[in-house]
Structure 1
Amino acid sequence: MTRDQALRRLHQRLLAHRADLEEMYLHDTEGTADTGFGSGDAGDVANEDSEREIRSQLASIESDELFLVRRAINALKEGRYGQCERCSRPISIARLEALPHTTRCIECQQNAEHPRKQRKRKEDWETVSDLESRQQERDLTLDQMDVDVD
């Protein structure tokens, strides 16, 4: 399969996923409005509040993912889809198959998730030096400090 064919197939998946997310979002936003003091005892009211909160959180997650899917569909239409937003290299089809709305190649995503790995070696040596000096400060004994122990 060519890259162009794979991208067309991914476009169809994104469209279907967008429709599913929109339906789930609508379902989860229904019933999230406060109905006031409902009927039933305090346990029923607490249960309704819990369900409303869960639906609200699900709707928020679905909204975020829906934004990413819509952005990917627009990128496809504009011919930018499958290109890393950081380094401009093509994102592998395997990665796009796994996460069709991704905007970064694996390397750039890993760097974004683990920025410490990007630091220069000098900074790492400075960190070691700081750690050694902190360790020496901890190794002091009461005899070495000017403290009344009465």
Structure 2
Amino acid sequence: MRYPAAVIALVSLQVAPAPAAAQRPVDAGAAVHPEAYIKVWNGGGSVRVEGWSADSVGVEGRVRGGPDAFFLHSDERAVKLGLQGAPDAAYGELVVRVPATATVWIRTGSAGVTVRGLVGAVDVHSVSGAIDIAGRPSNAYAESMGGDVALDLEAGIA
């Protein structure tokens, strides 16, 4: 039995896998005061925040969406960064390096959050993402309505 090429092409289109959502790399940063206030937003994916000795914020990773999906606004004392757009589009895998003495707020939808190396305060809220904070922050608060919360905190204030 012979089938016309148009029928074969139509069948091929119906069984072809959907393309993965396009992701683009992010590499951004800003100079800040060592005790700056940092706010991070991410709808889905992951956020890893690492304290370091530099007086700057550095962000690397991959995000879904157009050129305006990722934002970073800063001055010497404060930084706001993350993803914006529709909830299904605000997706990224971010590694954020901040001064270890900074105060950090993180808000996510389903993105998991990992925090390491901070001696400043950290405050994390997630709707359904897991939260894992370890180290010696001066103050730590973690809340996830649907994800696991793990705290491995050392005693004392840095």
The normalised TM-score by structure 2 is 0.19
Query: Which structure carries more helix by proportion?
Result: 1
Question: Radius of gyration: which is bigger?
Answer: 1
Higher strand share: 2
